[in-house]
Amino acid sequence: MGKDLQKKKDKKIKKKKKPAKCISVEEARELHDNWCEHRGKHLKACLGHDDTKDFWWSVEELQEYLKYVKRESKKQGILNPGIRVYLGAYPKSKCNDDRGYSTIFFKPTGAPVGSLGKGGGAPGQPDNDGISPYNRSDSNNGNNGDGSPGNGGGSPGNS
């Protein structure tokens, strides 16, 4: 009976389609290569060192944060919260090698039902300052190995 249950679960997983906003691996490579060519090299020239160019969090960490955002948004009457991704930079004083690496952080968005349309959600919805933004991960004990605080495992340099 255990095998039958597993087969049913496997069939359900196979039937689900990937989200419509997924991009191909090739497009992701093109976007990254374009960033390295047109942004990364200019940042290196300006800063005098390679800057962080990618960030990593586990799926479990992200799901935990999204559950938190959904729960807190619901308490505020926000039924369709969003997440805005911001670019940031650490103060040099917070980096081990005094470089002030780039980072990103996630900030919840949303408005109570009726204030921005049917569900309170829209691409232009305001930031929700009532819910904590998300930036650090536990990977590398809060440090990326590049001297910057644990910003999700960012890595400097060109690879």
Distance (Å, rounded) from C-alpha 122 to C-alpha 66? Answer: 17
Is 80 exceeded by the pLDDT of residue 96? no
58 inside domain? yes
What are the φ/ψ torsions at residue 113 (nearest 5 degrees)? -50, 135
Distance (Å, rounded) from C-alpha 77 to C-alpha 157? Answer: 43
Is 80 exceeded by the pLDDT of residue 50? yes
Which amino acid belongs to residue 32?
H
Structural domain of 91: 54-142
42 inside domain? no
Contact 115, 19 (CB under 8 A): no
Number of domains in the chain: 1
34 inside domain? no
Instruction: Lowest mean pLDDT of 25-34, 42-51, 91-100, 110-119, name the range.
Output: 110-119
41 inside domain? no
Q: What pLDDT is recorded for position 10?
A: 67
23 inside domain? no
158 inside domain? no
Q: Is 144 buried (19+), middle (13-18) or exposed (0-12) by CB count in 10 A?
A: buried
127 inside domain? yes
Q: How far is CA 41 from CA 36, 46, 121, 140, 151, in A?
A: 6, 9, 37, 26, 21
Cα dihedral across residues 159, 26, 152, 102: positive or negative:
positive
Q: What pLDDT is recorded for position 16?
A: 82
Is 70 exceeded by the pLDDT of residue 138? no
36 inside domain? no
Decide which of 17 and 5 is more confident: 17
Instruction: Lowest mean pLDDT of 4-13, 22-31, 59-68, name the range.
Output: 4-13
